[in-house]
Amino acid sequence: MQTQKIGQFKVDMVLESEGSFSPLDFVVPGITAEQIAAHSDWLKPVFVTDDNRVNMSFHSYVLQTPKHNILIDACAGNDKERPLRPPWHRQQFTYLQNMAKLGLQPNDIDFVCCTHMHADHVGWNTRLHNGQWVPTFPRARYVFANAEYSHWEKVHRHAVAHGLDAPNHGSFADSVLPVVDAGLAMMVDSGFEFEAGIQLQLAPGHTPGNCLLDARSNGEHGVFAGDILHTPAQLIDLSLSSRFCHDPVLAAQTRSELVHQLADTSTLLFTGHFPSPTAGRIISKNDHFRFENN
């Protein structure tokens, strides 16, 4: 993704990994081969491969303002124990090197905002140092929605108490709690403002406390939507939630509201997993919507 502008704000993408992920009908249960074929003119080959696998990117955004550098979502991370997800297991991604190419080091980040707490959105919250998980961005305040943190803390504590498998591949323990223990976490409610024009808004469904980040400057508008949409193929039918959604019905409602709000406007949508260039606009087309890269 090329650098994008939202008024006075600048947005860059920090790539962790990208490529063919899995069959589209695995990620989005219920989508049919007929639907994919009917929309292949715009879905393929960028968003969906010729053999109907979904192309996905795992990345963060850095929203730079005259006051702050805000990192949005923190990917899967390095050295994490994720045996059930081989693409994330004990990886050595060049994520920090990619950030350095933007002229940014971990100490330059003022806020880390996780739209939700799935393992592929919190991983770089921490790094392994002398056998311990420590905050990757030591000067940053890590912003978590109260509803999201409370849900996963409860699930985590229950799993520990009953000897169950750790939730989210163990990411709450290795990528969230160390930040809390270091005193760097901020638990906030919907409407929290990082600064004038940048607001966290509750957008539940994908997870109980899922959020989006809304950015406005000089009459321009951008939305960082996390996993409200996993793939543009969901724009064919907004009721199609991903298999990773906690509440598929509520996720579909949230998705529909956002898409109808943004369609055919100048608002830039910064997506959580669309392949490069990841940012673009939603347009209406007959009885469905499409995504056009910016």
Res 14: pLDDT: 98
Residue 132's CB: how many other CB atoms inside 10 A? 10
pLDDT of residue 286: 85
Whether residue 145 is predicted with pLDDT greater than 90 in this model: the reply is: yes
Q: Residue 54: which domain range?
A: 4-293
Q: What is the pLDDT of residue 70?
A: 98
pLDDT in tens, 51-85: 999 999 999 999 999 999 999 999 999 999 999 99
If one counts the domains in the chain, the total is 1
> 164-212, pLDDT tens digit by residue?
999 899 999 999 999 999 999 999 999 999 999 999 999 999 999 999 9
27-40 residue pLDDT tens: 999 999 999 999 99
- Residues 206-239 pLDDT 10s: 999 999 999 999 999 999 999 999 999 999 999 9
Residue 277: is the preceding peptide bond cis (ω within 30°)?
yes
Which CATH number characterizes residue 167's domain? 3.60.15.10
| Residue 253 φ/ψ region, left for φ over 0, alpha for ψ in the -120 to 50 degree band, beta for the rest | alpha
Confidence of residue 283 (pLDDT cuts 50, 70, 90): very high
Strands 9-23 and 4-6: antiparallel
- pLDDT one-digit tens code per residue, 109-121: 999 999 999 999 9
pLDDT at site 103: 97
